[in-house]
Amino acid sequence: MELIGIAVIVLIVVGLAATVAALRKDGLGHNPPVRSEEYWSALDLPSVNYTFRIF
């Protein structure tokens, strides 16, 4: 029984270490900002909400 408990604790520690390593390697926060060069347009979208169009 103790062997199963030790194995579970080892798996939890290894899982936490892998999670921390993956999060650190991810580089979140170092991505370049999204820039749009063209003007945004709604094209043919309606100016009224779809639920209000039914009534």
Global pTM value? 0.47
Cα-based distances in Å from 54 to 45, 46, 50 = 16, 13, 7
Report yes or no: 47 and 40 within 8 Å, Cβ to Cβ. Answer: no
In angstroms, the CA 3 to CA 47 distance is 66
- Residue tagged 């009224």 (tokens): 48
Signed CA dihedral, 36, 39, 44, 46: sign only = positive
Per-residue pLDDT of the chain (55 residues; tens, 9 = 90+): 899 999 999 999 999 999 988 888 776 656 677 777 777 777 667 666 767 666 5
In angstroms, the CA 13 to CA 19 distance is 10
